[in-house]
Chains A and B, each alone.
Chain A
Amino acid sequence: MHIRKDLSPGKQSLLTTGSFLIPLFLWTIVSYAPFIWHPDIKLQVSADRSGVTTVFTAGDRVSKEFFPTFSEAIRVENQAIMEAREQNKPIIGSRRDNLKKLRHLAPLAVANGWLEVKEQQNDEKLYGVWKGLAEGSLKSTEVELTEENIEVIRSNWRLLSAYAPTYDSKRYPTEAMLKLIPQGVSSNPVYLPAPHEVIQAGWRDFTTKPDNDMPTMWERYRHSLTIIFWGFTYSCLLGIPLAILCGSLDFFSKLHEPFIDFFRYMPAPTFSVLFVAFLGTSDAPKIMLVFVGTFFQLVLVIANTTRLLEKSLLEAAQTLGANRRQLLKRVIVPGILPNLYNDLRILLGWSWTWLVIAELIGEKTGLTGFIDTQGTRYNFDRVFPVIILIGFTGFFTDRFFHGLRDLLFPWTEEAQTGAKGPITRFILRMSNHSSYADRTKA
Chain B
Amino acid sequence: MSSPFELPSYLEQSTAVADRFRKLHNRPIKLQVHQLSKEFHSPKGKVNALRELNFQIHRREFITVIGPSGCGKTTLIRILAGLDFPSSGQVMLDGKSMKGPSAERGMVFQDYTLFPWLSVKKNVMFGLEVKGMGKMKAESEAMEWLEIVGLSKFAEVYPSQLSGGMKQRVAIARSLANRPEILFLDEPFGALDAQTRASMQDYLLKIWRNVDVTIFFVTHDLDEAVYLSDRIIVLKANPGEIDELIEVPVPRPRSPEQFLSPEFLATKKRLEDLIRPADSNSNETVPMIRLTEIGDEVE
A318 within 8 A of B: yes
Interface size range of chain B in the complex: 20 to 34
Decide: A321 and B102 in contact? CB cutoff 8 A: yes
The digit string for B89-133, where 1 denotes a CB below 8 A from any CB of A, is 000000000001111011101010101111000000011001100
Decide: B83 and A315 in contact? CB cutoff 8 A: yes
B157 within 8 A of A: yes
Query: With A and B bound together, what is the CA distance between A268 and B161 in angstroms?
Result: 46
Q: Which residues from chain B contact A410 at a C-beta distance below 8 Å?
A: 158
Decide: B102 and A409 in contact? CB cutoff 8 A: no
Task: Tell me whether A319 and B117 are in contact in the complex, defined as CB-CB below 8 angstroms, given that A439-B157, A442-B154 are known contacts.
Answer: no
The one of B83, B100, B130 that contacts A320, using a Cβ cutoff of 8 Å? B130
B11 CB to closest chain A CB (Å) equals 36
Query: With A and B bound together, what is the CA distance between A310 and B159 in angstroms?
Result: 15
Binding-face segment, A188-196, A244-252, A330-338: A330-338
Decide: B111 and A321 in contact? CB cutoff 8 A: no
Query: With A and B bound together, what is the CA distance between A176 and B73 in angstroms?
Result: 107
B81 within 8 A of A: yes
Query: With A and B bound together, what is the CA distance between A145 and B216 in angstroms?
Result: 99
B59 within 8 A of A: no
The digit string for A416-428, where 1 denotes a CB below 8 A from any CB of B, is 1000000000000
8 Å CB contacts to B: which residues of A340-381? none
Total cross-chain contacts (CB, 8 A): 83
Decide: A416 and B160 in contact? CB cutoff 8 A: yes
Query: With A and B bound together, what is the CA distance between A334 and B130 in angstroms?
Result: 15
B159 to A, closest residue via Cβ: A411
**Chief secondary structure at chain B's binding surface:** loop
Q: Which residues from chain B contact A335 at a C-beta distance below 8 Å?
A: 115-117
B51 within 8 A of A: no
A260 within 8 A of B: no
The one of A315, A337, A409, A413 that contacts B101, using a Cβ cutoff of 8 Å? A315
Decide: B127 and A320 in contact? CB cutoff 8 A: yes
Task: Tell me whether A411 and B160 are in contact in the complex, defined as CB-CB below 8 angstroms, given that A315-B83, A316-B113, A320-B130 are known contacts.
Answer: yes
Decide: A321 and B117 in contact? CB cutoff 8 A: no
Decide: A321 and B83 in contact? CB cutoff 8 A: no
8 Å CB contacts to B: which residues of A392-431? 409-413, 416
B219 within 8 A of A: no
Task: Tell me whether A442 and B161 are in contact in the complex, defined as CB-CB below 8 angstroms, given that A315-B101, A411-B116 are known contacts.
Answer: yes
B106 to A, closest residue via Cβ: A319
Decide: A316 and B117 in contact? CB cutoff 8 A: no
Query: With A and B bound together, what is the CA distance between A315 and B174 in angstroms?
Result: 14
B178 within 8 A of A: yes
A414 CB to closest chain B CB (Å) equals 11
Decide: B81 and A319 in contact? CB cutoff 8 A: yes
B31 CB to closest chain A CB (Å) equals 15
Decide: B160 and A321 in contact? CB cutoff 8 A: no
B147 within 8 A of A: no
Query: With A and B bound together, what is the CA distance between A318 and B99 in angstroms?
Result: 12
Q: Which residues from chain B contact A411 at a C-beta distance below 8 Å?
A: 116-118, 158-160
Most chain B Cβ neighbours within 10 Å, of A310, A317, A411:
A411
The one of A318, A330, A412 that contacts B100, using a Cβ cutoff of 8 Å? A318
The digit string for B151-174, where 1 denotes a CB below 8 A from any CB of A, is 000101111110000000000001
Decide: A413 and B113 in contact? CB cutoff 8 A: no
B267 within 8 A of A: no
Query: With A and B bound together, what is the CA distance between A321 and B115 in angstroms?
Result: 15
Decide: B113 and A334 in contact? CB cutoff 8 A: no
Query: With A and B bound together, what is the CA distance between A335 and B174 in angstroms?
Result: 18
A416 to B, closest residue via Cβ: B160
Decide: B109 and A321 in contact? CB cutoff 8 A: no
Decide: B157 and A319 in contact? CB cutoff 8 A: no
Decide: B83 and A439 in contact? CB cutoff 8 A: no
The one of A321, A326, A439 that contacts B158, using a Cβ cutoff of 8 Å? A439
Query: With A and B bound together, what is the CA distance between A272 and B238 in angstroms?
Result: 62
Decide: A416 and B161 in contact? CB cutoff 8 A: yes
A244 CB to closest chain B CB (Å) equals 16
Query: With A and B bound together, what is the CA distance between A334 and B159 in angstroms?
Result: 15
Decide: A334 and B158 in contact? CB cutoff 8 A: no
A312 within 8 A of B: yes
Query: With A and B bound together, what is the CA distance between A330 and B126 in angstroms?
Result: 9
A305 CB to closest chain B CB (Å) equals 15
Decide: A320 and B126 in contact? CB cutoff 8 A: yes
**What are some 10 contacts across the A-B interface (CB < 8 A)?**
A310-B113, A316-B115, A319-B102, A320-B103, A320-B174, A321-B103, A321-B127, A321-B131, A326-B130, A410-B158
- 4 smallest beta-carbon distances between A and B, as pairs: A321-B103, A320-B127, A319-B107, A318-B101
Q: Which A residues are closer than 8 A to B by beta carbons? A: 310, 312-313, 315-323, 326, 330-331, 334-335, 337, 409-413, 416, 439, 442
Given A335-B116, A442-B156, A442-B157, 16 additional A-B pairs, CB 8 A: A312-B109, A313-B113, A315-B101, A315-B109, A318-B102, A319-B101, A319-B106, A320-B103, A320-B106, A320-B174, A321-B131, A322-B130, A412-B160, A416-B158, A416-B161, A442-B154
